[in-house]
Amino acid sequence: ELKVEQNPLFLSMQEGKNYTIYCNYSTTSDRLYWYRQDPGKSLESLFVLLSNGAVKQEGRLMASLDTKARLSTLHITAAVHDLSATYFCAVDPYSGAGSYQLTFGKGTKLSVIP
Amino acid sequence: DTAVSQTPKYLVTQMGNDKSIKCEQNLGHDTMYWYKQDSKKFLKIMFSYNNKELIINETVPNRFSPKSPDKAHLNLHINSLELGDSAVYFCASSPGLAGLTDTQYFGPGTRLTVL
């Protein structure tokens, strides 16, 4: 059974600081997704990482994938309050064409404080 | 334009009742999903349909029955509701296996409270 572990689960950081959220998974996969969820809201797709070494950046967020280490990171640069949300990583257990099934991590609740 | 819509947004009901949640997507996607998010925010897939056919059925009580009348709709019917069914239910859709950049697009969620 695929296991997806995120850490930390809770993160309180000051504005302007940098930090990294980690997503480890237990089986071979080269398809990993990051989502953001604001309180009481739906999930919004942030990044789709489809190969070893993939790196994607959007604003203050940068995601990377190391399939050999079975690790993805979400790096936050110079955090601002608007980034406060819960961030989920999700893994597709099948490489190549992919599957219909994502396994989600438990989420990292990020609070950015002034 | 709303890409993935769900109704109702909130549903409060008594134990033992039967209820339905509707989902519609206007993205032209082939694949639709139902997820359950519990009180600890853990998100778990329940069902997946591709072109109206069931392809994933996780270990979900058979009180839950999905129905897909067409590619754009996936409804969830729940019989004999129990307290443990209280959660937020999300519908999602994706293009399917056709593209390598598939991501899933989520609806706004339906908060179900069973009293």
Mean pLDDT split into 10-residue runs, chain A, 114 residues: 94 96 90 94 93 92 95 97 96 66 93 94
Query: Which chain B residues are within 8 Å of A85, Cβ to Cβ?
Result: none
Neighbour tally for A68: CB within 10 Å: 8
Tokens representing residue B77 in the block: 């019917």
What integer pLDDT is reported at residue A100 of this predicted model? Answer: 66
What integer pLDDT is reported at residue B30 of this predicted model? Answer: 87
Cα of A18 to nearest chain B Cα, Å: 25
Residue with tokens 């991501």: B103
Segment B61-67 mean pLDDT: 93
d(C-alpha B69, C-alpha B53), whole Å: 10
CA distances (Å), origin B75, targets A22, A48, B25? 35, 27, 11
d(C-alpha A75, C-alpha B34), whole Å: 30
Cα of A19 to nearest chain B Cα, Å: 22
Answer whether residue B4 shows pLDDT above 60: yes
B7-48 residue pLDDT tens: 999 999 999 999 999 999 999 998 899 999 999 999 999 988
Taking CA–CA distances from A36, the nearest residue in chain B reads B106
Out of A37, A50, A86, whose CB is closest to B100?
A: A50
Taking CA–CA distances from A5, the nearest residue in chain B reads B42
What integer pLDDT is reported at residue A98 of this predicted model? Answer: 52
Neighbour tally for B59: CB within 10 Å: 6
Give the B window 38-57 contacts with A, CB below 8 Å: 40-45, 48, 50, 55-56
Out of A33, A97, A109, whose CB is closest to B103?
A: A33
Taking CA–CA distances from A47, the nearest residue in chain B reads B103
A76-103 residue pLDDT tens: 999 999 999 999 999 987 655 555 678 9
Instruction: Please indicate whether, in this complex, the C-beta atoms of B103 and A45 are within 8 angstroms of each other.
Output: yes
Instruction: Please indicate whether, in this complex, the C-beta atoms of A104 and B44 are within 8 angstroms of each other.
Output: yes
CA distances (Å), origin B47, targets A14, A30, B57, B66, B92? 40, 23, 5, 7, 10
What integer pLDDT is reported at residue A28 of this predicted model? Answer: 82
Query: Which chain A residues are within 8 Å of B87, Cβ to Cβ?
Result: none
B82-107 residue pLDDT tens: 999 999 999 999 887 544 567 889 99
- Mean pLDDT (chain B, rounded): 90
